[in-house]
Amino acid sequence: MSNPRFVMIGGFLGAGKTTTVARLARHYMEQGLSVGIVTNDQTTDLVDTNSLRAQGFEVGEVAGSCFCCNFNALTSTVERLGKAERPDVIIAEPVGSCTDLVATVVRPLVQIYEQPLDVAPYGVIIKPSHGAKILRNEAGAGFSPKAAYIFRKQIEEADFVVINRIDEMSADAVNDLAQRLEEQFPGRPILRMSAKSGEGFAAFCEFLEQRGDFGQRLMEVDYDIYAEGEAELGWLNSQIRVNSAQPFELDDLLLDIIRRLQTEFSTISAETAHLKTIGLWEGFYGVANLVSSFTEPELSLPSNCRVSQASVVVNARVATDPTQLERLVREVVDAACAALPAESQIDTLQCFRPGRPVPTHRILQDATT
Ligand SMILES: Nc1nc2c(ncn2[C@@H]2O[C@H](COP(=O)(O)OP(=O)(O)O)[C@@H](O)[C@H]2O)c(=O)[nH]1
Ligand SMILES: [Mg+2]
């Protein structure tokens, strides 16, 4: 039997990684392959894990630190995937604020990990609303120069780059972005895709099938800038129980929470990297997202369901102080539930700035050099 294919999909917060992971998992399963997914976050209660599980995928989660800083948690989670035997394909989604993943995850998997994996080329997905500003060197682009540094490092180490969300863009805007990528990061193949509509997805899958000299780019990373860039974001995960005497539209509540948060953050001029929420009730689920301060909230996966109870998970990555972030999320959840009217009970809430990344391994040389 051949070794499991390991596909890691990188990209900044809100770029479209989870949407791509779900589409890719479905694509492999339609070919009769078994698939296991590994999600990752700085803490527990991750919307992505809930959403991918609700969609019926087998998901292992590394929570509490990123793949790079807890490499052994990644490999032990990979080993727990699959029932009787290892899955044919393992798809991994790292934390969106991580970089240096080739040195800290890809090479250690190839060179140190004792269970052989067939590691696919590493693709990095770009959210145009975020990437275009940074690549145009616009003032104030990408939260801060340090966060923009992380975005640039993500592209620098990629085997290939994917411009996502082309369904929303003019051909000129896509070409402009591609040209800037080519000029600033020469030599990386650039794909154009909509993870949502599926346009360009076949070419993406084809690229992932390639074998060759991937994961070879040597990259300097200033861990001080990287750590400070990550720490500029307030990070919040929370799980809430909602109960109402009268049935309510679950999707309306999810969108209302996101809309109210967007308003609060814009009032205090705090830039949003990604807000996401999932509502779950007896096999039904809905997901709402906001991927920047300058776009509209959207219902990414509608539940189309009226409920009187739900479990709601909220994840926020916003350039603001964690104390303020926690206060605003608590107020917004209260207000959105009171408006139904429904009672809300926050069961868990973690809010912090990500700590300095300290990778378990950092291999700067390819095995062949
Ligand atoms: N219009 C459009 N929206 C997308 C596309 N890919 C992802 N999204 C939306 O962008 C938001 C963030 O996507 P997600 O996959 O969670 O990003 P991640 O943070 O990188 O995992 C969700 O609302 C998705 O529905 C796309 O190709 N086009
Ligand atoms: Mg995700």
For the stretch 52-66, pLDDT in tens is: 999 999 999 999 999
CA 357/CA 217 separation, integer angstroms: 20
317: which 2 tokens? 């990555």
Confidence of residue 256 (pLDDT cuts 50, 70, 90): very high
10 Å CB burial of residue 29 (0-12, 13-18, 19+) is middle
CA 188/CA 178 separation, integer angstroms: 11
Shared-domain flag, residues 223 and 109: yes
From ligand 2's centre to the CA of 369, what distance in Å?
A: 34
Residue 153 lies in a domain: yes
Question: Is residue 19 in contact with ligand 1, taking CB distance under 6 Å?
Answer: yes
The 10s digit of each residue's pLDDT in 100-132 is 999 999 999 999 999 999 999 999 999 998 999
Question: Is residue 289 in contact with ligand 1, taking CB distance under 6 Å?
Answer: yes
Shared-domain flag, residues 18 and 98: yes
Which has more confidence, 104 or 140? 104
Which has more confidence, 213 or 32? 32
With 70 as the cut, is the pLDDT of residue 368 above it? no
Shared-domain flag, residues 146 and 255: no
Predicted local confidence at residue 76, as pLDDT: 96
Contact 189, 45 (CB under 8 A): no
Residue 365 lies in a domain: no
Shared-domain flag, residues 245 and 157: no
With 60 as the cut, is the pLDDT of residue 1 above it? yes
Residue 295 lies in a domain: yes
Shared-domain flag, residues 223 and 133: yes
| Whole-number average pLDDT of the chain | 96
End-to-end CA separation in angstroms for the chain: 29
Residues with CB under 5 A from ligand 2 (ion): 17-18, 48
Residue 368 lies in a domain: no
**Coil, helix or strand at residue 307:** strand
CA separation (Å) from 83 to 34, 75, 175, 184, 318?
10, 16, 45, 45, 38
With 80 as the cut, is the pLDDT of residue 51 above it? yes
Shared-domain flag, residues 49 and 16: yes
Last residue of one domain, picked from the residues 185, 201, 230: 230
Backbone angles phi, psi at 344, to 5 degrees: -125, 145
Shared-domain flag, residues 223 and 238: no
Question: Is residue 11 in contact with ligand 1, taking CB distance under 6 Å?
Answer: yes
Shared-domain flag, residues 67 and 178: yes
CA 268/CA 320 separation, integer angstroms: 9
Predicted local confidence at residue 338, as pLDDT: 98
Last residue of one domain, picked from the residues 206, 230, 254: 230
Residue 366 lies in a domain: no
CATH number for the domain that contains residue 338? 3.30.70.360
Confidence of residue 313 (pLDDT cuts 50, 70, 90): very high
Shared-domain flag, residues 86 and 163: yes
Residue 341 lies in a domain: yes
Mean pLDDT throughout 73-79? 97
Sign of CA dihedral 139, 143, 147, 148: negative
- Structural domains counted in the chain: 2
With 70 as the cut, is the pLDDT of residue 369 above it? no
Shared-domain flag, residues 180 and 247: no
Predicted local confidence at residue 366, as pLDDT: 75
Domain that includes residue 242, residue range? 234-352
Predicted local confidence at residue 190, as pLDDT: 98
The 10s digit of each residue's pLDDT in 153-188 is 999 999 999 999 999 999 999 999 999 999 999 999
Shared-domain flag, residues 32 and 170: yes
Beta partners for 311?
A: 241, 280
Predicted local confidence at residue 140, as pLDDT: 67
Predicted local confidence at residue 142, as pLDDT: 60
Predicted local confidence at residue 71, as pLDDT: 98
Shared-domain flag, residues 263 and 119: no
The 10s digit of each residue's pLDDT in 185-242 is 999 999 999 999 999 999 999 999 999 889 888 899 999 999 999 999 999 999 999 9
Confidence of residue 297 (pLDDT cuts 50, 70, 90): very high
From ligand 1's centre to the CA of 2, what distance in Å?
A: 32
Residue 367 lies in a domain: no
From ligand 2's centre to the CA of 48, what distance in Å?
A: 5
CATH number for the domain that contains residue 26? 3.40.50.300
- Residue among 291, 313, 315 whose CB has most ligand 1 atoms within 8 A, to mutate: 291
Residue 360 lies in a domain: no
Predicted local confidence at residue 82, as pLDDT: 84
Question: Is residue 50 in contact with ligand 1, taking CB distance under 6 Å?
Answer: no
Mean pLDDT throughout 136-152? 84
Last residue of one domain, picked from the residues 176, 199, 230: 230
Q: How much of the chain is in helix, strand and coil states, percent to nearest 5?
A: 35, 25, 40
